[in-house]
């Protein structure tokens, strides 16, 4: 069994992995930049090492991180999500230095990270894919020819992209021509390769993904699906498990597809197979994320399976603890990405000091946070500072529990997306479980909320007024 893990990440996911290590009696090692010296993951881990003054470069230097893992006496490395989590070079270096990489092999990361190679693998496995490129586009003229063949609208995508970056929708040739150069530029800057491909745009689909886990003995299972349709500019905001929009037959079908996709590429460890569901109830493979997902918490809530601990077990060479028939789901779970952003001001990032923070509690409420009272959210990283996850036996119950938990969650000092999510939960379409990826775009009025003073602030103001009136 693994004895000591270096966590090659930061923020709430690093804290999450530290907690899994603690329960398994495994030593945890954190890394941090100067900007993160007061971060929660640094305080929680058994050991912590500075990786430099630059806020980002240290987290992206695979050689230095693995050298540090060796020097610290670690026998494994967990990449979390983001940064180097889907970089095959990190997995290769770990293998060469005798460090267990808690994730799939470098070969699989490379194959599934290349969207063209992933499409080819899925086609060979009989998994339905969106009509589009069979190879990387070589010119805008080739893009125009293919777009005219499959019909507009189309999506231009970075072949090695992810996280909602390097994607542009083109409704006509007039939009395709300038967007081609933009996506090539974005692909070069964000992913180091100017490779681009084209797909038919599935208009207003439902975004459904399936959590899978495979071991080194050829076994693979799914942990049911998550509905990620509530998103803005390809960035997920609210995730739900299981989807309230699928029938049981659809649930079984997409679960089988995801396991078939994992087995087709010899997948080991935790991963996510993402699909789009169109208006004709046709599922299309979109991509496979070869890492732990932000939204893994809702899957853990409905299945009772600790995905991070299972990752560590599989990486240790142990077989999966569960067969597919042993895995069941119960109730509904919903995750809110609490971002330090101002929805009323175009979702502008709102970095700064958390003057006070109150986490929600009660039955069926879980908070994964990187913040605390007095913590300064640095401006160098993603704006997500916490994840709020709620669970209830029924769809109606989980919506109400989400509303109550968001009311309980109070963050002073920065703007957050909390009041925006409260508006979403009030919308009748959402409450009926009827939404797709166009929901946020087609409901701009949801940002016109009135900011209500937190209950404790109101109570404090009343107390102060009474005290002043009495001359106390």
Which residues carry out catalysis?
291
Alpha-carbon distance of 245 to 193, in angstroms, equals 37
The SS3 call for residue 138 is coil
Torsion 88-93-99-105 (CA) sign? positive
Extract the tokens encoding 350: 């709102």
Task: State both tokens at 110.
Answer: 């490379």
- DSSP summary character for residue 450: P
In the sheet where 332-339 sits, what is the strand order?
283-289, 269-277, 206-214, 220-232, 235-241, 332-339, 384-392, 365-369
Q: In angstroms, rounded to a whole number, what is the distance separating the alpha carbons of residues 291 and 86?
A: 7
Per-residue burial over 362-397, b = 16 or more CB atoms within 10 Å of its CB, e = otherwise: eebbbbbbbbeeebebbeebbbbbbbbbbbbeebee
Beta-bridge partners for 334: 240, 390
- Give the DSSP letter of residue 404: H
Residues in contact with 459: Cβ distance below 8 Å, sequence separation at least 6, in sequence order: none
Under 8 Å CB-to-CB from 361, ≥6 apart: which residues?
408
Is the Cα dihedral 223, 228, 233, 237 positive or negative?
A: negative
CB 137 within 8 A of CB 147: no
Give the count of beta carbons closer than 10 Å to the beta carbon of residue 155: 20
Beta bridge partners of residue 238, listed in sequence order: 230, 336
In which element (H, E) is residue 158 found?
Answer: strand 154-158
């Amino acid at each position: 069994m693994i004895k000591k893990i270096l966590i090659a990440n930061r923020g709430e996911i690093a804290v999450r992995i530290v907690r899994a290590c603690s329960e398994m009696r495994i030593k945890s090692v954190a890394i941090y930049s100067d900007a993160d010296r007061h971060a929660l993951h640094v305080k929680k881990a058994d050991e912590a090492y500075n990786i430099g003054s630059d806020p980002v470069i240290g987290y992206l230097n695979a050689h230095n991180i693995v050298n540090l893992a060796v020097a610290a006496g670690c026998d494994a490395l967990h990449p979390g999500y983001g940064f180097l989590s889907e970089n095959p070079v990190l997995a290769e270096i770990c293998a060469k230095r005798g460090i267990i990489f808690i994730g799939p092999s470098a070969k699989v990361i490379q194959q599934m990270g290349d969207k063209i190679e992933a499409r080819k693998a899925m086609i060979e496995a009989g998994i339905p894919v969106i009509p589009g490129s069979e190879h990387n586009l070589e010119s805008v003229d080739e893009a125009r020819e293919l777009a005219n063949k499959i019909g507009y609208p189309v999506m231009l995508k970075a072949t090695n992209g992810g996280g909602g970056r390097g994607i542009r929708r083109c409704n006509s040739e007039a939009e395709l021509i300038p967007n081609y150069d933009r996506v090539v530029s974005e692909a070069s800057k964000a992913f180091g390769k100017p490779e681009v491909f084209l797909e038919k745009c599935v208009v207003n689909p439902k975004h459904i993904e399936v959590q899978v886990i495979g071991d080194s003995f050829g076994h693979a299972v799914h942990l049911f699906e998550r509905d990620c349709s509530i998103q803005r500019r390809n960035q997920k905001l609210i995730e739900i498990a299981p989807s309230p929009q699928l029938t049981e037959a659809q649930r079984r079908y997409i679960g089988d597809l995801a396991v078939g996709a994992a087995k087709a590429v010899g997948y080991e460890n935790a991963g996510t197979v993402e699909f789009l569901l169109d208006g004709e109830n046709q599922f299309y493979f979109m991509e496979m994320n070869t890492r732990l997902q932000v939204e893994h918490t809702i899957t853990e809530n409905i299945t009772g399976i600790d995905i991070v601990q299972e990752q560590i077990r599989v990486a240790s060479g142990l077989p999966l603890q569960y067969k597919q028939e042993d895995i069941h789901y119960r109730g509904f779970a919903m995750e809110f990405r609490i971002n330090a952003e101002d929805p009323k001001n175009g979702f502008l990032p709102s970095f700064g000091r958390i003057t006070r923070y109150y986490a929600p509690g009660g039955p069926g409420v879980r908070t994964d946070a990187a913040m605390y009272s007095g913590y300064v959210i640095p401006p160098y990283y993603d704006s997500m500072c916490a994840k709020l996850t709620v669970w209830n036996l029924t769809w109606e119950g989980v919506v109400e529990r989400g509303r109550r938990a968001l009311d309980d969650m109070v963050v002073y000092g920065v703007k957050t997306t909390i009041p925006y999510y409260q508006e979403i939960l009030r919308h009748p379409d959402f409450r009926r479980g009827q939404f797709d990826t166009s929901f946020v775009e087609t409901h701009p009025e949801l940002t016109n909320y009135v900011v209500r003073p937190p209950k404790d602030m109101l109570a404090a103001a009343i107390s102060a007024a009474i005290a002043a009136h009495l001359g106390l």
